[in-house]
Amino acid sequence: MPSVTMPRLTVLICTHNRAELLVKTLDSLNAAERPAGWSVDLLVAANACSDTTHAVLDDYRRQATIRGCLPLAWLAEATPGKSHALNSALPQVQSDLVAFVDDDHRVDAGYLTAVCTAAETHREFDFFCGRILPDWDGSEPAWVHDNGPYRIYPLPVPRFDQGDTGFELTSDRAIPGGGNLFMRTPWLAKVGHFATDMGPTGHDLGGSEDVDWILRGLRLGARLRYVPDMVQYHYVDASRLTLGYLIRKAYKRTASTVRIDPEKNGSAVPKYLYRKIAEYGFKACTAIGQSRRRFYLVRTAAALGEIAGHLQQRRHDHGTHPSTPSN
């Protein structure tokens, strides 16, 4: 009888100078239940790494067979920027599915099985996303769990949780980032490259390259399904829970969001944003209590970021976009 080739899943991890966290990510993938009837391998794109990441990956490959680990290939992308790493790695993918896992995530024990089961069960869908939950350990400050009127939302630790029931996500709903996403690989060529003027460089606060990519896919006709059993946990860095980080992240997040919003990008700066800055700034200066002051400082930064996003996009529209894919 002719041999039957098993379908194949590649898990792609882009990493920059996080050797210790990368080991934990790889360990979680190897500890996860292996999906029956599927071949699973790992691909790591080491982006401008100057720590021990290359040595960690070489050591993994040497010991993989002995330890029964998932097979791993890796490449080095010297140009800083996650989008550059993604654009270098994705042409190397030869599998049926490719799943994205960030280098500061760990996957749930059932993650790999959930990915392959979703692909088999929902063949009418092209993109799939799951939950991203903060990996709280009890040492975090109490305010991160505050659900009152002065809560910080979104939190500085990525979270994406749309409940316990799977459903189709469209562009008018919450769009996930790329931290817990997989797709059928024919769509890689259809959507094209990740925009290199978006996304993080090193560990800065850039972003939206993944949301931009997903939205381009949806506009081309891809269908996106939320799969609640696909769970990843995001490492909580204590430095993300400081006021300074909250302010910087709010600024960068809203600046990026404006740039991928077709109703906002390229337009003039709305005058109401200047009123918001004045209002929030005044309330931050006069607030009584840390929670109120923190809330209004973050709101002020977000409004400033929205203005910056409008200005950045207008400059972009008057120039050229070297990273825009041709389809």
Per-domain boundaries in the chain: 8-141+152-237, 243-317
- Residue 255 pLDDT more than 90? no
Burial string for 258-283 (b: 16+ CB within 10 Å, else e) reads bbbbeebbeeebeeebeebbeebbeb
pLDDT of res. 260: 63
Cβ atoms of 172 and 219 closer than 8 Å = no
Residue found under tokens 């930064």? 301
- Residue 2 pLDDT more than 70? no
pLDDT of res. 320: 46
pLDDT of res. 318: 65
Helix %, strand %, coil % for the chain, to 5?
A: 40, 20, 40
pTM of the model: 0.78
pLDDT of res. 154: 74
Instruction: Give the H/E segment covering residue 312.
Output: helix 290-317
d(CA 177, CA 181) in angstroms, rounded, equals 8
- Residue 325 pLDDT more than 60? no
Higher local confidence (pLDDT), 107 or 306:
107
Residue 37: partners with Cβ closer than 8 Å, 6 or more residues away: 6, 7, 116
pLDDT of res. 266: 55
Largest CA distance in the chain: 79
**26 burial class (0-12, 13-18, 19+ CB within 10 angstroms)?**
buried
- Residue 323 pLDDT more than 60? no
Banded pLDDT at 47 (limits 50, 70, 90) = very high
Give the mean model confidence (pLDDT) for residues 138-149: 84
Give the mean model confidence (pLDDT) for residues 4-27: 95
8-141+152-237: CATH number: 3.90.550.10
Least confidently predicted of 140-149, 187-196, 270-279 = 140-149
pLDDT of res. 156: 74
Residue found under tokens 């292996």? 34
- Residue 273 pLDDT more than 90? no
